[in-house]
Amino acid sequence: MKINFTKKQYETLFKMVQYGYWVASDTEDNKEFSEMEQYINSFAKDFGMGGVQFIKDYEMYDLSRELEDQLHTVINEYEDGVFRDKLAYHLARKEFAEESENHEYNQEEAFKRIMEIEEKYHLHIEEHGLGKLKIEE
């Protein structure tokens, strides 16, 4: 089977593979992801894409620091968003657990209340960042 890509489509595929490889390689040892990433990288020159070079000593395609930094900008924004979402999620569940010791909720009320609390934390983090959060002992 042969698949043809335009330069723009290849660049999009390249980015998608890099983002996927970043996540997968950080969470599991998956040779298949590494092989696919190297295979896609091997076509960079054919598509006129700079920033990818073959390193003979390691027999692999590697990204220039500049290209890596460009890709990591998106990855860092994503990770920051995930962090804020998870922080709001966990803080809301903690607050709800404490609140529900003194109040009984049915399933629908509990879900609605958790969403309200989580939204409160999202708004707080959006407005103030992490600057006003503190841990008390």
Neighbours of 57 (CB within 10 A): 5
Under 8 Å between Cβ of 97 and 89: no
What are the tens digits of pLDDT across the range 90-110? 999 999 999 999 999 999 999
Arithmetic mean of pLDDT, 101-123: 96
Phi, psi torsion values for 49, nearest 5 degrees = -95, 120
Neighbours of 60 (CB within 10 A): 14
The pLDDT of residue 127 is 94
Which of the listed residues 35, 63, 91 is the one where a domain comes to its end? 63
The pTM of the full predicted model, rounded to 2 decimals, is 0.76
Q: Tell whether 136 is covered by a domain.
A: no
Q: Tell whether 1 is covered by a domain.
A: no
Domain hosting 27: range is 7-63
Q: Tell whether 52 is covered by a domain.
A: yes
Which of the listed residues 45, 63, 81 is the one where a domain comes to its end? 63
Distance separating alpha carbons of residues 81 and 90, to the nearest angstrom: 14
Distance separating alpha carbons of residues 113 and 35, to the nearest angstrom: 46
Please indicate, yes or no, whether residues 78 and 123 belong to a single structural domain of this protein: yes
Q: Tell whether 82 is covered by a domain.
A: yes
The alpha carbon dihedral of 78, 81, 86, 89 has a sign of negative
Q: Tell whether 135 is covered by a domain.
A: no
What are the tens digits of pLDDT across the range 54-67? 999 999 999 999 99
Q: Tell whether 137 is covered by a domain.
A: no
Q: Domain tally for the chain?
A: 2
Which of the listed residues 63, 80, 105 is the one where a domain comes to its end? 63
What tokens were used for 85? 């979402």
Please indicate, yes or no, whether residues 48 and 78 belong to a single structural domain of this protein: no
Please indicate, yes or no, whether residues 39 and 81 belong to a single structural domain of this protein: no
> Cα separations (Å) of 4 from 17, 33, 106?
17, 21, 55
